[in-house]
Structures are given as C-alpha cells and as structure tokens.
Amino acid sequence: MKLILQTIRENWKEVLDKTCVGESHNWRVKKGSAGLDIPCPMSLTIPPGQKGFRVHLGVRVEPDHHFWLVPRSSISKKHLRMSNSVGLIDMDYRGELIMVVDNVKASAVNVLKGERLCQIVAMNGSQISFSFGKVDMNTERGEGGFGSTS
C-alpha cells in the first residue's frame, strides 16, 4: 500500500533524519511491521486534559486504500491516550495529520522532539510503502477532518 507524505514544517525532514532510524528516508519502518511510526515534530508539554498537535505531515492516499492513525503501545507509559482512539485516513482526505491526546495524569507530560506516539497502519495490515512528494490539498473533500463529512 502506497502513501505519499509531504513535509509541511520547513525543518521537518531534518528532524526525521536526526531522530528516526529505518531503511527508507530515515523513518522507523521495519521489514514485516504493519505500522509506520510517526515522530513528534517538536518538543511539547501536554497539560492535564486534552491537547491536539499537528504532526506537520500532509498525506495523500492511493485510490481504494485507507489507513488508520493509531497510538503506539508505548504511549501508555506517558499517561497519554488518543482522544478518538483511532483516526481514519480516507482515500479522499488531503491535509495535515493531527493527533489529539488526553493527558490522564494529574500533572503535565513532556514529549520530546522525535518521540513516536502514533503510527499509520494499512487497514488490510500490509506493510506501508511511502515516499515524500507534493500533496495537492485541492480535492472535493480537502483537508477537513474531525467530523467534516457529517
């Protein structure tokens, strides 16, 4: 399954190169793994309660393919959970990925640049292939997310 990613933040590729390990574009993607780990683009502090942050990656999906944005199992060590449990990336979605988490701890949680909190998984479980390219945001659906099709 093919996924096209576009860096939105200017120095994002540099962040990836310095913080992630893998075979393709220095991303964390291991042979046989279903998930493509997505590193946090900047250090941030998440106060108790809900916090959304932009992943600074645009996404384009091949026709007839869909993906999940899911938490990595290690996110529980941080006392964080994804607010909607899972995000669906439809084939007609174009835009930036946004991860909304709940901090269930009574105090703030620090997330370091490059830490991997979530991953993209193909709905059929196959390994994801990806490349960096231009993501055209001009589609009928566009980049509306979080209930934009209701």
Q: Which of 146, 45, 42, 58 is nearest to 100 (CA)?
A: 146
Unique residue bearing structure tokens 């220095």: 26
pLDDT, one tens digit per residue, over 73-97 is: 889 899 998 888 888 888 887 777 8
Say if 34 falls within a structural domain. Answer: yes
Say if 28 falls within a structural domain. Answer: yes
Say if 150 falls within a structural domain. Answer: no
Say if 44 falls within a structural domain. Answer: yes
Say if 29 falls within a structural domain. Answer: yes
Say if 149 falls within a structural domain. Answer: no
CATH of the domain at 7: 2.70.40.10
Query: In the chain, how many domains are there?
Result: 1
Query: What is the share, in percent, of the chain residues with pLDDT greater than 70?
Result: 63
* Domain containing residue 52: 2-132
Q: Which of 108, 18, 35, 117 is nearest to 71 (CA)?
A: 117
Residue 106 DSSP class: S
pLDDT at 20: 47
Say if 128 falls within a structural domain. Answer: yes
Say if 146 falls within a structural domain. Answer: no
**Strand 95-103 versus strand 2-7 pairing type:** unpaired
Give the Cβ contact number of residue 113 at 10 Å.
13
